[in-house]
Structure 1
Amino acid sequence: MSRFPLRAIAAGAASALALSAHAQSSPTDPSSSSPSSPSSAPTPAASAKALNAVVVTAKRLDEARNALSPETGSSVYRFDSEDINTLPQGENTPLNQVLLQAPGVVQDSFGQLHVRGDHANLQYRINGVIIPEPISGFGQMLDTRFADEIKLITGALPAQYGFRTAGIVDIRTRGAAADEEGQPKAFGGEIGTVIGSHADHELNGYVQGAKGPWSYFLSGSFVENNLGIENPAAGRNAIHDHTDQGKAFGMLSYLINPDSRVSFMFGSADNRFQIPNRPGLSPSFSIDGVATPPSDQLNANQREKTDFQILSYQNKVSSALDFQVSLFHRTSRVDYNPDPIGDLAYNGVAANLTRRNEAYGVQADGSYVLSPSHTLRSGLFVQRERFAVNNTSSVLPADADGNQTSGVPFSIVDNTSNTGTTLGVYLQDEWKATDKLTVNYGARYDHINTVVSEQQVSPRLGLTYDLTNVTRLHAGYARYFTPPATEKIDTTSVAKFQGTTNALPSDANTSVRSERSDYFDVGISHQATRNLTLGLDAYYRKVRHLQDEGQFGNALIFSSFNFDDGKIYGLEGSANYRQGSFAAYANLSVSRAMAKGVETGQFHFGPDELAFIASNWVHLDHDQTVAGSFGTSYLWRGTLLTADALFGSGLRNGFANTSHLPAYFQVNAGVARTFETPIIGKFKVRFTVINLFDRSYQLRDGTGIGVGAPQYAPRRSFYVALSKPF
């Protein structure tokens, strides 16, 4: 499969190696055919020929668009539609679970991912266009079903990539529908359902096709179950954990001529969650005239809603010049509605909290072949955003030591709003120095003006060298500038909460700074045999103003803060084997993520922790020393047998993250088959078991920096998926 190196690591080299087992053949020249005239009545054969010409033209533009994004010197891990299908859940696999099958990716609670020791800091792109960030939470905004290929790009990134640099998740959408022989057809799609444990019910479907110069892909899903967030208790079923999640995605494309097209993408996610309860807790505060409800009967809820729209124009001006310009708009909000009595009694504050963010802007990327040895690429990104926080908190009076002095609550309104601008420009050159050596060098300039005004010029250098026809080396250096995500900045007014049960230290600094780092990466990939590919990659990152995030309040919303200094380093190994109907992969990574000194957001910490971190290097809460992912699949007489597994040595916990949770190992398995019946025709059936051996383990235990509550991984769960292609 194409999921892992060698095709993965250092995939941006110009020379085509035998390493690329699934290299895509060049499309037919579209000039030999053209769509039929609208005034004629084409025969079926002529209509098919016209549709094929349109599809070939679209693929030609797809290749031109892909050429706008170099990968030289980076580590690239690809998941094509076949790779996704061979996961135990297939196309129903959440996007974060797909990415967990790549090296160096660690799972966390609330669906979070950590790539190479970073907290989040992932950039999502669809067809090369940056998808504006939603407000942090635990709902997955994007479905896997509309992806034809998913790439995770890590390491020393080319100058094209900025702002979010732990990893680039680049999704290539599906194209026109195809029949069983792979020929394009005007209309197709699939509708399906999933039922399973925790009262899980899901409906999903998509349609796709092409007519004349138009092509389209539309998908949607709705899911509800009783395990929306990880269970904070060890039991099989969570208390008060229902979720309803609806998602939609669409793409419309119009071919203006064989060299240009306009496309419009849009997406929407509306996710509602009950906040699960922990039984047996004792209230910390008393409220006059009100009986405190038991901790397993609280009723807190959270809603996350995100919408985006992107209009793109692409033009292949000549054989040397290509460009794409996109206009984008995004709205995102998170609403936390507390249990008005329970949150106040157990936490000392019941905050009715809303975070909103609206962003719009433009992204442009261009490529120019200066000579056979040099390809120049440049572009810009400009974003204007407006963000606001509405916070109405019910609190109780307290003395200077935090002791409650009255049982009569009162409200504090702490609303803020602001606007901000983000700008980035880059220029780079891909130089084919020799048949074996490719160098990509360049720089980008970034400027932000939000809660802080900062800027940086960031040089980049990446190279690949074909040591032999089956061995490739890559190395890179990148200077990174990572501005804080405005939607994650805690704007709490410290003075307003003095003398209450939600008091914060008066010397707290809320102006989160941009992170600046130097990143070094080196790796080797080797095709040991025709069927076996091996990869090894090492990285080191030295950081100033290291950004981290934590869930510090009772609302499940993350807030950013800075450490003074950081150092992150690690080693990743991968193996990929495929022969006939059998495939297997294994990834193992070792990493260390450390920080020292707290620079902003000090009110999130106790004085003893602040003093300890000021003079000691401490582990970041998402640091996991060893992580592994493994999988295998076998197609036996038309039945797909598949399994994968995750291993982790445990995330950090305890005072200042000085200890870690126990190691875990989880196995998932699935069986899938496509049936042909004389009545309903083709339909697909898939049976999946998550956590096959029912291992109970904690992702979080409620201790550690920025950790709000315990989180247990799901216990053994069963799912049946049925779908009908058409």
Structure 2
Amino acid sequence: MRNLLLVTAALATPALAAPPTDAPAADPGKDIVVTARRLDTARDAILPSLGAGDFKFTRATLDAQPQGADRNLTSVLLQAPGVTQDSYGAVHVRNEHANLQYRLNGVIVPEAISGFGQTFDPRIAETIDLITGTLPAQYGYRTSGVINLRTRSGAFEDGGDVGYYGGSHNTIQPSATLRGSTGNLNYFFSGSYLQNDLGVENPVATRNAVHDRTKQYRAFGYLSDILSDTSRLTVFGGTAIGKFQIPNNPGQTPAFTLNGRSTFDSSLLDQNQRETTHYGVLAYQYAGDAVNLQVAPFVRYSQTRFSPDPQGGDIIFNGFADQSRLSSFAAGVQADGSYKATDSHMIRFGLFFQNERTRSTVTSRVFPVDAMGQQTTDQPISIIDTGRKSGQLYGIYLQDEWTLSPELTFNYGVRFDRVDAYTREQQLSPRANLVYRPAPGTTFHIGYARNFTPPPQELVGTTTVARFNGTTRESEIPFGDPVRAEREHYFDGGIEQTVAHGLTVGLDAYYKKKRNLLDEGQFGSSLVLSPFNYATGYAWGVEFRTNYSRGPVSLYANLARGQEKGRNIVSSQFFFAQDELDYIANHSIFTDHSQRWTASGGGSVTIKDGIGTLVPSADFLYGDGLRADDPAGIVPNGGKLPSYFTANFGIAQNLDGPGFLKGLSVRFDVVNVFDKVYEIRDGSGVGVGAPQFGARRGFFGGIRKTF
């Protein structure tokens, strides 16, 4: 960073003597580029991983993969070590449910209410980092993994691209980006639209789902004004809007009678969900010689609406039909800074505050029942349940990066967090990481972190279960304790070794001991999950990774073994059956998202073919299978789904010209090459709502023009 400061100063300072008349004029644009690069480097240095694992996807990596720039974020993350596939676009990092934090340029973007929509489009990212392990003190709240997208800024080149992608499942996906600079102002804009007939995983094994159309819109904008050589003001934000039909499972048997009607074709159900998220960040950055600061106010609004079948199909099959509207507005500020106290000590500090206002309105149509639980009338009644809540999150941290020697770094610190919402709790959390580099290409790390994870306020319901007594929605368990924050002791250690030029291998092991282990499940028709706690829990795992990159060849492979278990459900008990609660109270069980083995890998080759570059690519995903009901019907989550292996293939031809052909790229992709039929979920297990199958083989093609 100091060298970059000197470069900037040399470019910006006038010479003492008059230059020759034929000397080239100063280039203000070059000054801006150098300053922007230095400020980016300084911003990233405020929040380094410092002993935690950091798996990085660069822009080149993202483009050189099957589906390229048109791949969704879930598919990208599944190629990182220890990431498990689940339904509704969810992923699990190190066998944890959710507990992922999303950041843009280091700034937390509060999580949205979403069942299966994705807020962020990978095309906006210059790099995507997945940070795991014993996180330094600057990372709080969601700690199984931090996904940081460093957005494209437009500071380094003017241009953009426009493209069209489509194929199987009636997929249509146009997109465009624009980037550049004018004076001190840098900008980047991105927009995309997606339409297909496989918006949610198919509940049956058929190639095409029934009633599964989705329309999704995403937009993002970034503006940065360089105020001086040491400061800039940045504003960025975006929107994601998704409309989803809920896919149908044909052949279901009706269980209730509505207005004299006791038959209904389940393939004709018309359930729909709409998800909306808007977010924005205003960030001021100062990067001096010793002090580096970023202060970032932020806002986020999220809303999810679920509409049941208008003809009453839900209530005929389930005995209830919910129409729900959930919304959340969050606003706050994040401030982070660093101070270089001495050559051996880098002090980092920061604070976080968020106020969130959540609202929920659920209108349930149900049937009255008698003491034996039998329907007494075919005329439904409506019960309205509303909730309003304001909650706050507070956090502050202080840490020191102590360079003990050129080979040994000790990063230690502490953070304090408090949540005041449906639960009022707080915790002081020490963190420590030791990194040892005994020789070039060899890195050892070991760390400990005490973590505090508040329950997601936007997902905590306020249902008073007593109001459903005497109806088809009466709970077997008449009470539910409040959802509490998870508290965790986290231990992690590993090694990374460069074996040969371009070849690196890594091994990492971890163990987590938990109190009030947070989990989530689907407990209604709406595809929005609800949280609950196990009193105690633990997780452990081992991850192996390797990558090779030399010249035109890039290869990687990851293998992970792990599990997570919980014991005694102590909140939201009304979601469960009594026999489940009784067993789990006295036995540790696998959490429903625990998977023993996970593997991923792939690669690409860049071939110069005379008209540009030809880039074939491939990747694969192996899953040992998520949990399911015990075949013997005794142990909750005591069964396991079959393992599966899927592979994807892509090939892109990038043209160098002449004329209009310059910057043109044509690609073809095959997803699930071997047409593997596999279940992600079978509809059984603790908190699992419905079966879902992975997508069958699909053929896709696209064309993109870069200018």
What's the TM-score bracket when you normalise by the shorter of the two chains?
Answer: over 0.9
- Equivalent residues of 2:278, 2:302 under 8 A apart: yes
Following the alignment from structure 2 to structure 1, what is the Cα–Cα distance between the partners of residues 370 and 401? Answer: 64
- Equivalent residues of 1:490, 1:510 under 8 A apart: no
Q: 1:426 Cα shift?
A: 0.3
| Equivalent position SS for 1:433 | strand
Task: Tell me what 1:697 maps to.
Answer: 678
Q: Is residue 111 from structure 1 mapped to residue 94 from structure 2 by the alignment?
A: no
Task: Tell me what 1:575 maps to.
Answer: 546
Q: 1:335 to 1:496 in 2, by over 3 A?
A: same
Q: Is residue 264 from structure 1 mapped to residue 235 from structure 2 by the alignment?
A: yes
Following the alignment from structure 1 to structure 2, what is the Cα–Cα distance between the partners of residues 636 and 361? Answer: 48
Q: Is residue 659 from structure 1 mapped to residue 634 from structure 2 by the alignment?
A: no
- Equivalent residues of 1:353, 1:391 under 8 A apart: yes
- Equivalent residues of 1:437, 1:465 under 8 A apart: yes
- Bigger Cα displacement from structure 2, 157-166 vs 671-680: 671-680
Task: Tell me what 1:39 maps to.
Answer: none
- Equivalent residues of 1:522, 1:538 under 8 A apart: yes
Letter matched to residue 667 of structure 1: A
Task: Tell me what 2:301 maps to.
Answer: 331
Q: 1:97 Cα shift?
A: 1.1
- Equivalent residues of 2:490, 2:510 under 8 A apart: yes
Q: Is residue 724 from structure 1 mapped to residue 699 from structure 2 by the alignment?
A: no
Task: Tell me what 2:65 maps to.
Answer: 87
2:78 to 100, 103, 106: 100
Letter matched to residue 373 of structure 2: G
| Equivalent position SS for 2:123 | coil
Q: 1:48 Cα shift?
A: 9.2
Percent identity between matched residues is 45
- Equivalent residues of 1:437, 1:464 under 8 A apart: yes
Q: Is residue 494 from structure 1 mapped to residue 465 from structure 2 by the alignment?
A: yes
Task: Tell me what 1:188 maps to.
Answer: 159
| Equivalent position SS for 1:528 | strand
Matches within 5 A, 1:598-613: 598-613=569-584
Q: Is residue 67 from structure 1 mapped to residue 45 from structure 2 by the alignment?
A: yes
- Equivalent residues of 1:34, 1:54 under 8 A apart: no
| Equivalent position SS for 1:513 | coil
TM-superposition CA deviations, 1:428-459 (whole Å, max 9, x none): 00000111110110100000110111100000
Q: 1:27 Cα shift?
A: 7.8
Following the alignment from structure 1 to structure 2, what is the Cα–Cα distance between the partners of residues 46 and 78? Answer: 40
| Equivalent position SS for 2:444 | strand
Unmatched tracts of structure 2, length 5 or more: 15-22, 631-635
- Equivalent residues of 1:347, 1:554 under 8 A apart: no
Following the alignment from structure 2 to structure 1, what is the Cα–Cα distance between the partners of residues 487 and 102? Answer: 21
Letter matched to residue 654 of structure 1: D
Task: Tell me what 1:709 maps to.
Answer: 690
Q: 1:636 Cα shift?
A: 2.4
Q: 1:493 to 1:48 in 2, by over 3 A?
A: farther
Task: Tell me what 2:619 maps to.
Answer: 644
Task: Tell me what 1:138 maps to.
Answer: 116
Matches within 5 A, 1:89-488: 89-176=67-154, 184-185=156-157, 187-290=158-261, 292-316=263-287, 318-340=288-310, 341-488=312-459
1:685 to 642, 660, 666: 666
- Equivalent residues of 2:171, 2:196 under 8 A apart: yes
Q: 1:676 Cα shift?
A: 4.0
| Equivalent position SS for 1:461 | strand
Letter matched to residue 326 of structure 1: A
Following the alignment from structure 1 to structure 2, what is the Cα–Cα distance between the partners of residues 398 and 523? Answer: 59
- Equivalent residues of 1:123, 1:169 under 8 A apart: yes
Q: Is residue 517 from structure 1 mapped to residue 498 from structure 2 by the alignment?
A: no
Following the alignment from structure 1 to structure 2, what is the Cα–Cα distance between the partners of residues 295 and 400? Answer: 29
Q: 1:681 Cα shift?
A: 3.0
Following the alignment from structure 1 to structure 2, what is the Cα–Cα distance between the partners of residues 296 and 223? Answer: 24
Q: 1:633 Cα shift?
A: 1.1
Q: 1:216 Cα shift?
A: 0.4
| Equivalent position SS for 1:464 | strand
| Equivalent position SS for 2:122 | coil
Letter matched to residue 434 of structure 2: L
Following the alignment from structure 2 to structure 1, what is the Cα–Cα distance between the partners of residues 546 and 177? Answer: 34
- Equivalent residues of 1:84, 1:90 under 8 A apart: yes
Following the alignment from structure 2 to structure 1, what is the Cα–Cα distance between the partners of residues 253 and 289? Answer: 71
Letter matched to residue 537 of structure 1: D
Q: 1:520 to 1:47 in 2, by over 3 A?
A: farther
Following the alignment from structure 1 to structure 2, what is the Cα–Cα distance between the partners of residues 659 and 258? Answer: 60
Following the alignment from structure 2 to structure 1, what is the Cα–Cα distance between the partners of residues 622 and 3? Answer: 37
Q: 1:271 Cα shift?
A: 0.3
TM-superposition CA deviations, 1:335-388 (whole Å, max 9, x none): 000014111111111100011000001100010000000010000000011001
Following the alignment from structure 1 to structure 2, what is the Cα–Cα distance between the partners of residues 678 and 543? Answer: 61
Following the alignment from structure 1 to structure 2, what is the Cα–Cα distance between the partners of residues 90 and 510? Answer: 46
| Equivalent position SS for 2:606 | strand
Letter matched to residue 693 of structure 2: Y
Letter matched to residue 92 of structure 2: H
Q: 1:34 Cα shift?
A: 4.3
- Equivalent residues of 2:477, 2:576 under 8 A apart: no
Task: Tell me what 1:626 maps to.
Answer: 597
- Equivalent residues of 1:35, 1:54 under 8 A apart: no
Q: 1:555 to 1:401 in 2, by over 3 A?
A: farther
Letter matched to residue 624 of structure 2: S
Letter matched to residue 64 of structure 1: A
Unmatched tracts of structure 1, length 5 or more: 1-13, 15-23, 37-44, 178-183
Task: Tell me what 1:5 maps to.
Answer: none
- Equivalent residues of 2:466, 2:478 under 8 A apart: no
- Equivalent residues of 2:628, 2:637 under 8 A apart: yes
Q: 1:471 Cα shift?
A: 1.5
Following the alignment from structure 1 to structure 2, what is the Cα–Cα distance between the partners of residues 87 and 399? Answer: 59
TM-score, normalised via structure 1 length: 0.93
Work out the number of aligned pairs and report it.
688
Q: 1:679 Cα shift?
A: 4.9
Following the alignment from structure 2 to structure 1, what is the Cα–Cα distance between the partners of residues 186 and 26? Answer: 14
* Alignment RMSD: 1.7
Q: 1:62 to 1:282 in 2, by over 3 A?
A: same
Letter matched to residue 217 of structure 2: G
Letter matched to residue 34 of structure 2: V
Q: 1:175 Cα shift?
A: 2.8
- Equivalent residues of 1:214, 1:255 under 8 A apart: yes
Following the alignment from structure 1 to structure 2, what is the Cα–Cα distance between the partners of residues 556 and 349? Answer: 15
Following the alignment from structure 2 to structure 1, what is the Cα–Cα distance between the partners of residues 220 and 49? Answer: 27
Q: 1:416 Cα shift?
A: 0.8
Following the alignment from structure 2 to structure 1, what is the Cα–Cα distance between the partners of residues 174 and 407? Answer: 50
TM-superposition CA deviations, 1:405-432 (whole Å, max 9, x none): 2211010000111101110000000000
Task: Tell me what 2:19 maps to.
Answer: none
Following the alignment from structure 1 to structure 2, what is the Cα–Cα distance between the partners of residues 267 and 48? Answer: 36
- Bigger Cα displacement from structure 2, 460-469 vs 659-668: 460-469
